[in-house]
Structure 1
Amino acid sequence: MKIWIDFINTPQVSFFELLIESLTSKGHTFILTCRDSSNTVQILKQKNWDFTIIGTKAEKGILNKLIAYPYRINKLVRFLKDKNIDFAAGQSSFYLPLTAKILGIPSIYTNDNEHALGNIPAFLFADKIILPENYPIKNARRQGASPRKTSFYPGIKEGIYLWQKGKIISSLRLKSIPKTIFIRPEPQTAQYYHGKTNFLDSLLLELKNHYEITLLVREKSQYDHYTQPQFEGISVPDKTQDFDIIAKDCLLFVGAGGSMTREMALMGIPTISVYQGALLGVDKYLIANGYMTHLPELNSLDIKFKINENKDLTSSDLLIEKGEMAYYLFEKSLIGLNEND
C-alpha cells in the first residue's frame, strides 16, 4: 500500500519515524510532503527520506493563515492526484484531511493541541481521529470531532516514538555526568502562541557566566537574535542536534513550549516548562504527576534549586509503557484504515 504523510513542522518527523521504518519493512511505500518551516527540511534530509517541499510556513496571524490554507491545499492536490495513494496520515497537518477528501483518499488525523484552530477543518474531513487520553473531550466535540470516528490512545504523543529509547537513554545518562542546561525558546510564529517573545533574554544573560548553556533555536530569526555579541558564551548550534546527545548531556531542560519539553520529561530528565500561554491537557497531566515543573516566571534561583534538588524524579516507566501501546495502536490503525474502506 502507498501511504501519504504530510509534515508541517519539526516534531511530526519524529512522530512518524518508527511507523515509517516498520511499515516500509513490511512492504508499504510512502509519499512524503512537507512545508518548509522551522527545522523540518533539515531533519528530513538527515533521515535520507525522499520528500517534496510544498509551501513555506504561513506568516503569523489568522488572516495570513486563512489565505495560505487553500493555496497550499491546491498545490498538494495537483502534486498528489496521479500518485495512486491508498490512504493518508497526518499529525497536526491541517491540510491533509481536506486534501485527502478532495482526492478520495481515506485519512487519519491526530493532534495533541486542543488550542489549534486548524483542528476544526481537520476533524471535519478526516475519516478517523485519534487523540491522546488527556485531550479535553469538550474541546474535541466543540471543534467538530464526532464520537463515531474519534478514539483515544494512552499516554502522550512523545511516547509513541520514544518508547524504544527509554532504557537506552537511562543507560547513557548513568555512564556520563550531565552538565549542560539546554534551553528551547518560545514558538513565536505558531498560530496558537500568544505569549511574549525573547522573554528569556535577561535570564540567559544572568546564567551564562555560571552554567554551560546550549540554546536550541527554532528558526533563523532566533538564531540571528541569540548570536548577537551580548549572548557570547552561550552555545547556539546552527543545525539540529542529535536527541540522544542532548538527553545524555542534559543537566536541566528549560522549554518554552512544544514537543521537546515533553520529550525530556518523558525521558526522566529534570524539566521546567516556561510556556507563557494556556497549557495543553497533556502538559497539565505531566505537571500534575510530577514529570515536569511549570514556572513561567523562571529566575536563576529556581534554576539553582532545581539542579540541587535531592528528591527523586517521578519514574517515567508508565509513560514509556503507554507509548509502546499507543505505537502499536497507530500501526494497526494505519493498515486497518485502508482495509476497512
Structure 2
Amino acid sequence: MKIWIDFINTPQVSFFEPFIKKLENEGHEFILTCRDSSNTVDLLKQKGWSHTIIGDRVEKSLLKKLFAFPIRVLNLIKFIKITKPDVAIGQSSFYLPLASKVVGVNSIYTNDNEHALGNIPSFLFASNIFLPENLSISKAIKQGASKKKIKQYPGIKEGVYLWEKGMEIQEARKNTSQKKIYIRPEPQTAQYYSGKENFMDDLIIDLKDIYEIIILTRDVTQRKHYLESKFDGIYVPEKPLDFKSIATDCLIFIGAGGSMTREMALMGIPTISVYQGELLDVDKYLIEQDLMVHKPDLNRGYFEDFLTNSKNSKKNQGVLLEKGKEAFELFKHTILTLK
C-alpha cells in the first residue's frame, strides 16, 4: 500500500514517525510532502526520509493564507496524480483532504485544535475524521463535520506517538540530574494565535542569570530575536534538538502553546503553559489531570514557587500512555483498511 502524508508543521513529524517505522517494516510505502515552514524540513532531513517540498512558509496574515491555500492544493493534486497513493492521512494539514477528494483517494484528517479555521474545509472533504476523546464533538459539528465520519480516539494526540518512549524517558530521568529550563515561545504565524509576541522577554531576562535556559524557537525570525545581546547567556539552538535529550534533562518546561508543551506534560515533566489565547479542550484536560498548570502572566515569583512545589503526576501520565497505545492501534488499523 502507498500511503501519502502531508506535513505542514514540525509536530507532525513526531506524530507520524511510529507509523512510518512500523508500516515500512510491514512492506508499505510512504509518499511524503511538506510545506517549508518552521523546522519541518530540517526534521525530515534528520529522520532521513525522502520527501518533496511543496509550498513555502505562510505568514500570519489571513489574506495571504487564503491566497496561498488554493495554489498549494493545486500543486499537491498535480503531484499525487503522478505518485498515485492508495490512502492519505494528515494531522492538521488543511490541504490534504481537498486534494485527496479531487483525485478520489480516501483520507483521514485529524486535529486536536477546535479553533483552527482550516478544520472547516478539512471536515467537509475528509473521508474520516479522528478527534481526541476530550475534544467536544459538538464543536466539530459546528465547523461542518459529519457525525458519521467522526471517530474519537483514547487520550491525547501526543500519546499516540509517545507511548513507547514514555517509560524509557522516565528511566533516563531517574539517572540524570535535571538542571535546564526549556522555553518554547508563542506560535507567532499560526492562524489560531491572537496573543502578544515576545511577551516572555522580561521573564527570560530576569531568570537567565540564575538558571540555565534553552529557547526552542519556531523559526528564523524568532531565533534572530533571542540572539539579541540582551539575551546573552541563553542557548538558542540553530537546529531542532532531539526530543529524548530535552525530556531527559528538563527541570521545568515553559510553553506558549502547541504540541511540545503537551508532550512534556505527558512525560511527567513539570510544565507551565503561558498560552495567551483560549485554551484547547485537550489543554484543559491536562490541567484537570494535574499534568500541567496554566499561568499566562507568569512571573519569577510564581516560577520559583512552582519549582519548589512541583511534583510529577506519574499515575495520570501512565494512564495516558496506555491510551496512546490504544489510539495508535486504532489509527493503524484504519489506515490499512481505508483503501
TM-score, normalising length from structure 2?
A: 0.98
**Unaligned 5+ residue runs, structure 2?**
none
State the AA in 1 paired with 2:96. Answer: L
Q: Is 1:326–2:301 an aligned residue pair?
A: no
CA distance in 1: counterparts of 2:200 and 2:73, whole angstroms? 36
User: Structure 1: which 5+ runs fail to align?
Assistant: none
Q: C-alpha separation between the residues in 1 aligned to 2:63 and 2:170?
A: 45
Q: Distance in 1 between matches of 2:128 and 2:67?
A: 26
For 2:97 and 2:223, locate their aligned partners in 1 and report how far apart those are by CA, in whole Å.
33
Q: In the TM superposition, what is the alpha-carbon distance from 1:84 to its structure 2 partner? A: 2.0
Is 1:74 the counterpart of 2:81? The answer is no
C-alpha contact 1:290 1:314 (8 A) present in aligned 2: no
Give the Å deviation of 1:311.
4.7
Alignment-derived partner of residue 318 in structure 2: 317
Q: Is 2:182 the counterpart of 1:190?
A: no
Matched AA of 1:331? K
Q: Equivalents in 1 of 2:10, 2:312: separation in Å?
A: 31
Matches within 5 A, 1:1-341: 1-309=1-309, 311-315=311-315, 316-338=317-339
1:187-244 per-position Cα deviation (integer Å, ceiling 9, x unaligned): 0000000000000000011000111100100000010000011100011111100111
Deviation at 1:313, TM superposition (A): 2.9
Report deviation, 1:82.
1.8
Which string of whole-angstrom CA distances, capped at 9 and with x for unpartnered residues, describes residues 109-164 of structure 1? 00000000000000000001110011121210011111111110010000000000
**In 2: Cα distance, 1:61 partner to 1:225 partner:** 20
- 1:310 to partner: Cα distance: 5.8
SS in 2 for 1:148: coil
Deviation for aligned residue 1:299: 0.4
* Contact 1:16/1:161, CA 8 A, preserved across alignment: yes
Q: Is the 8 Å Cα contact of residues 107 and 126 (structure 2) preserved in structure 1? A: yes
SS of the equivalent of 1:88 reads: strand
Distance 1:93 1:311, change over 3 A: closer
> Displacement of 1:289 after TM fit?
1.5
Deviation at 1:303, TM superposition (A): 1.2
Q: Deviations over 1:50-84 (max 9, x none)?
A: 00000012221221111111000011111121212
- Cα RMSD of the aligned pairs, angstroms, is 0.9
- Please list the CA deviations of residues 275-299 of structure 1 after superposition, one character each: whole Å capped at 9, or x if unmatched: 0001000000001110100000000
Q: Distance in 1 between matches of 2:165 and 2:237?
A: 23
Q: Secondary structure, in 3 states, of the residue corresponding to 1:147?
A: coil
In the alignment, is the contact (CA less than 8 A) between 2:270 and 2:310 conserved in 1? no
CA distance in 2, matches of 1:93, 1:201: 31
1:85 Cα shift?
1.2
Q: Secondary structure at the match of 1:205?
A: helix
